[in-house]
Amino acid sequence: MQQTFLETLNTSDHEQLQFLRDAELGLFAIVAIHDSHAGPAFGGIRRCAYTHLADGLRDVLRLSEAMTDKCALAGIPGGGAKAVLLDRPEFDADAAYRLLGRYVENLGGRWYCGPDVGTGTRELEILAKETRFVTVPGPDGPGDLADATARGVLAGLEAVAAEFTSTSRAQADLGALSYAIQGLGEVGGILARELRARGARVVGSDVDDDRLANAIDRFGVEPCASEEILGAGCDVFVPCALGGILHDLSIERMRFRAICGSANNILATEEHGDQLAQRGVLVAPDYLVNSGALILGAAFHLFGSRDSAAAIDRIGDELLELFARAKGERIAPTRLAGQIARERRAAARSLAVGPFFPHEAELRNDLDGGREIEP
Ligand code: NAD
């Protein structure tokens, strides 16, 4: 049964939750900072036509928490945040993004925002007029985020292929397996291109006919109706469209040996990961394999680096280690990943003075007349 709005609020452990409203602009946004004990929070802005405010609240809480897990698994000194922007007919989007940009700037670097569903390069450029704390892809920013994400998923797919053939990642042959890609957008399109270039059979679906036609013409993807993709006879399912797709009904229908893609929160619940493992399906935790863009963006903002290729490629090795440990401990890899993320979150909490407030050191110094004070 769905929780009520207040129940959802009561069961969350988020540090900060704010509602931003501007009636004239039609702006209604919810910003959630989940956990900043390890460092500044990272997370995109999702713009979506939620039917109920409670749906937006659930989404922002779930997605921001997943960002904390993503940082913990990727070893990034940061935490998770997210914003949802309720898309409404009366919405003055450009003005609303500018106001949101001012809000982000005023947090002073406590939250680095970025792209998500409905917030692309155009909207990020609007935000960048008001704030320094935004990840705008391209040459002035860290580079191409979808490329980085696809690179991480490919590293994950190499780990899957290595696991199937009991070889190393370097020897794994991606071309020997077949793939069903759900969603041929930015990330799914790059994966289709790369897998076809390695000689693999790729079946693909997209609700957008132009994107599907493009993948057929340019990369030789075999088309599949969206509602049929779960039944496609392929080795690996590569979800690159929506979350919540692995649930009671869908896992009964699918016949894949492995699942590894970029979509966030693919498991409806952690138990569905257990059920898939019991059926012998290898599931790569989404927040491990889709962390390429986060790794790239965080390295850019925190260390001024634009080259994160090696760090992103390590996702494949980490996945192989996770598979091995999960086998040894007789536990689903998705559950083990959750346990590791929670352990790391607890460790960051125990080491930190508290949540990350960017101007705190400066302020403490001012208040104390410039003398060092104990934390
Ligand atoms: P995108 O919007 O470019 O592509 C998504 C594609 O999925 C679109 O072409 C859309 O038409 C299609 N789609 C939607 N519903 C579908 C359905 N039911 N069946 C088939 N296709 C459907 O998004 P993207 O940037 O490629 O990201 C894909 C997924 O990966 C998203 O879930 C996103 O949250 C996640 N992700 C992306 C990044 C990134 O760097 N872009 C990073 C981490 C996670």
Task: Output the CA angle 311-317-323, nearest 5 degrees.
Answer: 140
Q: What is the pLDDT of residues 137-149, one digit of tens each?
A: 888 899 999 999 9
Q: How far is the CA of 203 from the centre of ligand 1 (A)?
A: 16
- Please, which residues bridge with residue 222 across strands? 203
Which CATH code is given to the segment(s) 1-64+79-136+355-375? Answer: 3.40.50.10860
Contact call for residues 64 and 14 (beta carbons, < 8 A): yes
Q: Do domains 1-64+79-136+355-375 and 145-331 have the same CATH topology?
A: yes
pTM for this prediction: 0.93
Rounded-to-integer distance, Cα 252 and Cα 358, Å: 48
Q: What is the pLDDT of residues 229-262, one digit of tens each?
A: 999 989 999 999 988 999 999 999 898 999 999 9
| Catalytic residue check, 82 | yes
DSSP class of residue 296 equals H
Q: How far is the CA of 115 from the centre of ligand 1 (A)?
A: 12
Q: Label residue 328 exposed, middle or buried (CB < 10 Å: 0-12, 13-18, 19+).
A: exposed
Q: What is the pLDDT of residues 96-111, one digit of tens each?
A: 999 999 999 999 999 9
Residue 52 amino acid letter = H
Nearest to 80 by CA among 31, 143, 121: 31
Atom 9 of ligand 1: nearest residue by CA position: 185
Atom from ligand 1 closest to the CA of residue 211: 9
Q: What is the pLDDT of residues 277-294, one digit of tens each?
A: 999 999 999 999 999 999
At 139 the three-state DSSP class reads coil
Which CATH code is given to the segment(s) 145-331? Answer: 3.40.50.720
Q: How far is the CA of 301 from the centre of ligand 1 (A)?
A: 24
Q: Which residues line ligand 1 (CB under 6 A)?
A: 117, 145-146, 149, 182-188, 205-208, 211, 226, 240-242, 262-264, 290, 293
Q: What is the pLDDT of residues 151-175, one digit of tens each?
A: 999 999 999 999 999 999 999 999 9
Domain boundaries, the chain: 1-64+79-136+355-375, 145-331
Candidate list 70, 82, 129, 327, residue with the active-site label: 82
